[in-house]
Structure 1
Amino acid sequence: MSRDIDVLVLGGAGVDTIVHVPELPLPYADSYLIDSGVRTRAGQTGDFVALGLTALGLRTHHLDFLGDDPEGDLVRALHEDRGIALTAVPQPAGTKRAVNLVGPDGRRLSLYDTSRAHPDDRFPLDTLRTLAATSRHAHVSVTHPCAHALPALRETGVTLSTDLHNWDGENPYHEPFAHTADVVLLSTTALADPERTMRHLVERGRAEVVVATAGAEGAYLLADGELTHVPPATPPAPVVDSNGAGDAFAAAFLYGRLAGEPPHRCAEYGAVAGAYACTVPSTEADAIGTADLLARASRRSQSSQRSANRPLL
């Protein structure tokens, strides 16, 4: 069967309203004056992964629920402008949305509106199976109702990845994703023992590779039973917002994996892309391109090699 799609991205379409605040956590006050403005733009986790993959030249298709509302129009416009194929299932409850409070150091606090879904929402099986059967890989967001799509995706034989984000290692909601995917990404933010959680994912699921991103500390890669540290990449400009860094890491990691690169090289790509994403203002949607990614990764590799060859004093 022809594989016309490189990556099918499932779920995670929506809009964010960005509010720059003087500090996080934000002290209680009756009101704050926001000189930078309060701005709404398209782009949640699935949108940003799809954007990153497309910027790296991969044929990408995004499937999710969208409302017939102004927020849905923003999401549709983003995909049309960036040349990302989109299949939007009608959502009467409206398009998913969130509010991101962004501090001066680029950290964020996200408030997700969970009312934009129904418990019985399901992707049309025929649509899901057709898209998956013509895809080389599928990246599944941990948004409703993606968990219900996992069995059908597995039946098609497509390889799967997921990003558990700030999972604490215990919340049962994440387990279907964690135990079904071939590649699992997550953040160390809420993990008491990252290595223990990563090894449990391999033991209990079918993951071949687990990556735990750790912000400014880099990331940790578990592959072939070996845990290694991936140093952070140097951002090419001042850090202004960490929103979307994990999605950029995921997109670049998958780019490397689909190109046949070894896991550590894929993680190096992810580190470079994540650092780049931190330099993009939260009110914009942008991603690193292939030439820039490969050039920065090459310079990073050469620098690491020179350091390894430097004689000890």
Structure 2
Amino acid sequence: MEKKSHFDVIIVGGSYAGLSAAMALGRSLRNVLVIDSGLPCNRFTPHSHNFITHDGSIPKDITDRARSQVLAYSTVAFCSGRVISAHRATDGYSIQVEEGTLYTARKLVLATGVRDLLPDIPGFAESWGKSLIHCPYCHGYEFREKKTGIIVNGEKALHLASLVNNLTDNVTILTNGKADFSEEQTAKLISHGIGIEQEKVVSIEQVNGNIHGVTLTDGRTLDFEALYAAPSFEQHSGIYSDLGCELTESGHIKVDQFQQTTVSGVFACGDCSGMLRSVAYAVATGNIAGAMVNHQMVQDDF
């Protein structure tokens, strides 16, 4: 990496969204530093889907190829490390990496992702991203026509069930406690042949991440080949708070249609700033962020 400390743009996060932003900026001859900790949210998933030209690819293979293409642009540099703080500086913003180096830039792009907060259920973490999945669009096709459970309650369960019901007619909602459905919602689920199980989940039975059942508090084990879940999450990095960026009610970094945060000169992209968690969405928002950062600098200088 070129030995310099000041850049036009620093991008925190070097997965799909961050690299997409870096490519747009590199093609605009901007001096860019991408800083990445090497802990992408989808590292537990063996295959990535629903992204044209890369359907079924290993997630890391997509990232590695993207990085090699982005770094072919001579004005883009890459730093492996974890950012621990970010602050306003006289010439823009300053970023400190864990090992102590301080970098500055005119503009920032936060592509920091989110961290899933997995429940303390034996077998959950081992299956997460393999046969215990979050998105019918990303992984549902691979589990079509399989016996499927949905470990979610209330409105989220209803939403997921409607999508999964299109892929298999063998669906059971595991509410993990008292069901939170109205009479109308319950009737709709029953009319579609979707079961409702209110006993709490004790453990997920799996081998190497491949689910074969769920054990409940009453001792029963229900057979499943796939499970969906919607665990809570948190921002993977807290530097948005250092900068004063607002969050949405859902916990994402608040951005406008151009990926600008509530702080001037700071942009955000990927799943840290939106609920659609897919490679295609990350790449699209990264591309927008990169283009709009360049546009803002052009307007500043022209």
Shorter-chain TM-score: what band?
0.3 to 0.5
Q: Pick the structure with greater CA Rg.
A: 2
Higher relative contact order (CA 8 A, sep 6+): 2
Greater helix fraction, Structure 1 or Structure 2? 1
Per the normalisation by structure 2, the TM-score is 0.33
Per the normalisation by structure 1, the TM-score is 0.32
Greater strand fraction, Structure 1 or Structure 2? 2
